[in-house]
A = this chain, B = another copy of it.
Amino acid sequence: RTCTHTLLFAQLITPDGTNHGLHGFLVPIRNPDTLETYPGLIVGDMGEKIGVNGIDNGFIMFNQYRIPRENLLNRTADVTEEGVYESSFSDPSKILGAALENLSAGRIGIMQESCHSIASAVAIAIRYAATRTQFGERDNEISLIEYELHQWRLFGYVAAAVVFRMYIENFSRVYLSIVEKSNAGMKVDNLSEAVSEIHAMVSCSKPLLTWTVLSAAQQCREACGGHGYLKSANLGDIRSNHEATVTYEGDNNVLSQQTGNWLLRQFHAARSGGAVDSPLNTVTFLMDWQRWLGAKFRCTKTDELKSREFITTTYRWLICYLLKQTHEKYESEIAKGLTKFEARAKSQVYKWRDLTKTYAEYLAIIFFLESLDKKEKSLQPVLTKLFSLYGLWSLDQHLVELYQGGYSQGESLARLLREAVLELCSELKGEVVGVVDALAPTDFVLNSVLGKSDGNLYQNIQKAFFSHPGAFERAPWWRDVVSLPRSKI
């Protein structure tokens, strides 16, 4: 309610009636001295939200509202004093792309925030699991963390928290070095191809991270039972505030479609024997797509599945398979006479959508592995286990496609993969508290009665309940609800 200017995307129509599509404008909406809105505008607040209520969201309605020509953000295109449109881009669709590209930084910021949110959520749930005892043999109650089901519910998210953090650290470094060079006017090889690849990477990774963190927060809440449902556990607020990220800065379902466009272009190039434009090297392997598609599952021991070779090979097979499926589906819809827009809409479910998710998981894995090799030797064993768990726990979601596409037949793939996941959970049990201690913020920032680093769960809960204002007082209106003795006279 104190906003004086807004950055607005709107259609740019020049005096000759031509619509040049969406452009960015800087629009004054309130007088900075009085905070009154300007005539021609209806500006108001949209009211309370599920979370993020520290930031207001407003609406604006425009009625014949005029702004100066100079308020067009004109880095990619401008309008002269004579009303003539000028752009350094020849393809109109590229102009919008160039303007929207600035959103990548915001999306990377969301991913960094998401890494903090999942770290907090798993820290609370793992510390609770290690200290909360329930059931057991006879009178010996055991900690929740001893139960395989509880490990399986949580440890995959701990692994995701670590893999995502190292992925985003590594990727941010790559991204910023390109931005810095470009802003400094230095030459960046294949800049426009790199920008496209980064856009494709961000457009599927933001959905993968924000959705995974959302389900992590939910699973962590449930794993803390009724205590997790207390506001003082902080899992509800972590979840509600995080939830907005799956929608803003590009709704996940819509944004990830961008990645599919780029991947299909690269696949098309590879199929036609052309070059794959992948300066960041994320899909160079598509040049050999037929060889990758020929891969078959041949493991006989769980240790083989835990290896980086198995996990990366299987992901490459999956990406090639889903690219082929998506491509064929799209082309078959075009052949039926559908427009490109319609054909794309009919290729999302089970195809395009799964493809972009798979590619995002693959990105997390390869960027993590690159960082892993540079870490201290002493950290590598636990990080390797977390990597294997994340990889197999994620591949578990793609078993149908692995069977459907003939990567494997029979029972051994699903059985071995799932046995490996449970073995890794068991192997990580002793280390997982240390892992979340490394990820978690301070107790003050974590702000959870269940997740304090001292491990004194029961005392901390008692203290929180006892110090709650009015915890032991009668309600002020207590006299209204008791049936007081009345005079018999």
Chain A residues close to B by CB (< 8 Å):
1-2, 32-36, 42-51, 57, 59, 136-137, 147-149, 152-153, 221-222, 225-226, 228-232, 235-236, 240, 243-244, 246-248, 251-253, 339, 341-342, 345-346, 348-350, 353, 399-401, 403-406, 409-411, 413-415, 418, 422, 464-466, 468, 470-472, 474-475, 478, 481-485
**Separation of A413 and B405 alpha carbons in the complex (Å):** 11
Can you offer 7 A-B residue contacts whose CB atoms are under 8 A?
A1-B474, A48-B230, A50-B230, A225-B247, A225-B251, A401-B414, A404-B414
Which residue, A248, A252, A404, A414, has most C-beta atoms of chain B within 10 A? A404
Closest B residue to A401 using CB positions: B414
**Separation of A49 and B149 alpha carbons in the complex (Å):** 26
Contact assessment for B411 and A44 in the assembled complex, using a CB-CB cutoff below 8 Å? no
A251 to chain B, nearest CB (A): 6
**Separation of A329 and B315 alpha carbons in the complex (Å):** 30
**Separation of A466 and B42 alpha carbons in the complex (Å):** 10
A236 to chain B, nearest CB (A): 4
**Separation of A350 and B42 alpha carbons in the complex (Å):** 56
Contact assessment for A353 and B149 in the assembled complex, using a CB-CB cutoff below 8 Å? yes
Contact assessment for A50 and B229 in the assembled complex, using a CB-CB cutoff below 8 Å? yes
**How many copies of the shown chain assemble into the complex?**
2
Contact assessment for A411 and B406 in the assembled complex, using a CB-CB cutoff below 8 Å? yes
Among all A-B residue pairs, the 8 with the closest Cβ atoms: A50-B236, A48-B231, A403-B403, A44-B471, A149-B348, A404-B414, A399-B400, A1-B475
In-complex Cβ contact of A244 among B229, B345, B406 (8 A): B229
Contact assessment for A231 and B50 in the assembled complex, using a CB-CB cutoff below 8 Å? yes
> Which residues of the partner chain B approach A471 to less than 8 Å between Cβ atoms?
44-45, 47
**Separation of A478 and B411 alpha carbons in the complex (Å):** 68
Which residue, A236, A244, A349, has most C-beta atoms of chain B within 10 A? A349
